[in-house]
Amino acid sequence: MLGGGGGFYETRHGRYLPTRGALRVLVVLVEVDYQTPGEPDPTGTNGYPGWPAHQLPVWLDNADPTENLFDSEVLPSPQGSVTRYYQQASSGALHVIADYLMAPTNNGIFSVPSSTGYFPSLGPVIAVVDSVVNGNFNTYFQHGINDFDHFTINGSATAGLEKVNPSTENPAIYDHLCFIFRNSRNRKLVDTVYVYTEMDQTGSTAPGSPGSIAGHASNTYSRFAAYNKRPTDIFRHEFGHNLYGGNKFHYAGGGDGTSGMYWVSYSGGWGNMGLHNCSIESWSAWDRLQMGWKNVGQVNQIAARNPGNTSEANGELDASVPSDAGTYVLRDFVQTGDAIRIKLPFTDPVNEYPEYLWVENHQGKVVNNCPRQGSTTAPCLV
């Protein structure tokens, strides 16, 4: 592969990041120090209650652990929203945990001067962070640099190959580096003039490193803004690109409408990559198939139950095979992953891709913006 040797390139190995094991994210919290008179901070002088100015956000080490964005360690029962999400989606295969790099002043928040609050490049941010850290690597939960390098990834050349654990990278490379801005802005061109606008709950991710922090690069990185709301959804989505693929894989709604699609719906879909316009932000059985996630002891990748709900049944069905007809029991999908996938008939096996109907059971899950109700506000049950 790629000139010699190698293994199998498979989605279940992840695009740039692993789909199994414990991965600790290094998070850098940033606030903009607006320099231009008359250029107001979009969050006001004091910030928002979810993240006050010059203070740590309420989703870091909250007294209620379920309000936190991440857990800092792998726990028997995950509490932080992102950690819990991926642990449940993967049936315990993937643990996304994190710790926060602390600035020595400003209550640990890195203050970056700017006239506009817009950063097309992370270079100015990293320059400030590295200058302030000055070789003194200190995190909120007291982890060392090697604690953020669990996997040998070695860049985008290994996309789709299994990542090596424990890491053999020397010097250590952060598996994933994440910048979260408290009060930054975006920029858009209106007629012939650039206008700076609020940038909340939007962001991006990329392979490689945006620069060096404390003498170490990263294998992947992400950046986004979070004024007041805990940034669970935007992190889940951007991090997911490192598992599934780039903008062509907005298969569940959200993001970039210019890159082409490999999925049936641009808006109103649902899945792990769902964000803007999606109907459910839960993972889907398609997600679990692509990542190879299944319950411990589960034999079939797509599994249902027999009519008596006493044993596993193969959920991979073909509408043209008479023996696949029958009764299948589906328990709650979020808790069990039960699903069936039915291959539809009448497609040309030579000139057409196969098509499937997925069936899952989300017991009493209330979903807002349900497109079948023709309303953007009325909830529906799925």
Give the tens place of pLDDT for each residue, 248-269: 666 666 555 555 555 555 555 6
CB 302: neighbour CB atoms within 10 A?
21
Token duo for residue 107:
């209550």
**Sign of the four-CA dihedral 84, 86, 88, 89:** positive
- How far, in Å, CA of 304 to CA of 341, rounded? 10
Mean of pLDDT over the chain: 86
Quote the pLDDT of residue 2.
45
Peptide bond between residue 171 and the one before it cis (omega within 30 degrees of 0)? yes
User: Is residue 34 pLDDT above 70, yes or no?
Assistant: yes
From the CA atom positions of the chain, what is the Rg in Å?
A: 22
Model pLDDT for residues 304-329, shown as the tens digit of each residue: 999 999 999 999 999 999 999 999 99
Lowest mean pLDDT among 28-42, 90-104, 222-236: 28-42
Model pLDDT, residue 347? 76
Q: Which residue has the higher pLDDT, 62 or 190?
A: 62
pLDDT over 70 percentage in the chain: 85
Residue 284 to residue 363: CA distance in whole angstroms: 14
Note the pLDDT of residue 269.
67
Give the number of other Cβ atoms within 10 Å of residue 370's Cβ: 19
Q: What is the mean pLDDT of residues 192-209?
A: 84
Respond yes or no on whether the N-terminal peptide bond of residue 166 is cis (omega within 30° of 0): yes
Q: Where is pLDDT greater, at 261 or 26? A: 26
Which of 50, 36, 41 lies closest to 230, judged by CA? 50
The model's pLDDT over 109-130, given as tens digits with 9 standing for 90+, comes to: 999 999 889 999 999 999 999 9
- CA torsion 173-174-175-181 (nearest 10°) is -150
The pLDDT value recorded for residue 364 is 52
Question: In this predicted structure, what is the pLDDT of residue 348?
Answer: 81
Instruction: Give the pLDDT of residue 257.
Output: 52
Angle at 102 between CA 97 and CA 105, to 5 degrees: 160
pLDDT at 377: 37
- Containing H/E element for 127? helix 123-133
- Mean pLDDT check: name the lowest of 124-128, 167-171, 234-238, 363-367: 363-367
In this model, does residue 342 exceed pLDDT 90? Answer: yes
Is the model's pLDDT at 362 over the cut of 90?
Answer: no
pTM of the model: 0.88
Neighbour tally for 42: CB within 10 Å: 21
Between 128 and 9, the more confident residue is: 128
Whole-angstrom CA distances from 346 to 291, 302, 320, 359 are 28, 23, 9, 20
What is the spatial distance between Cα 113 and Cα 31, in angstroms, rounded to a whole number? Answer: 9
Q: Tens digits of per-residue pLDDT, 218-249?
A: 999 999 999 999 999 999 989 999 998 877 66
- For residue 36, the one-letter residue type is T
Comparing 198 with 327, the larger pLDDT belongs to: 327
Per-residue pLDDT at 273: 83
Residue 131: pLDDT above 70? yes
pLDDT for residue 135 is more than 90: no
pLDDT surpasses 70 at 132: yes
Q: What is the pLDDT of residue 200?
A: 78
Over residues 6-16, the mean pLDDT reads 81
pLDDT at 20 over 90: yes
CA proximity to 179, closest of 256, 105, 127: 127
By mean pLDDT, which of 61-70, 148-157, 238-247, 318-327 is the weakest?
Answer: 148-157
Report the amino acid identity of residue 180: I
Task: Give the model's pLDDT for residue 276.
Answer: 67
The predicted model gives 45-57 an average pLDDT of 95
Judged against a pLDDT cut of 60, whether residue 379 lies above it is answered with no
pLDDT > 90? residue 199: no
Confidence of residue 157 (pLDDT cuts 50, 70, 90): low
Inform me whether the pLDDT recorded for 6 exceeds 80: no
Cβ atoms of 151 and 18 closer than 8 Å? yes
187: left (phi over 0), alpha (psi -120 to 50) or beta: beta
Q: Is the pLDDT of residue 177 over 60?
A: yes
Residue 329: count of CB within 10 angstroms of its CB: 14
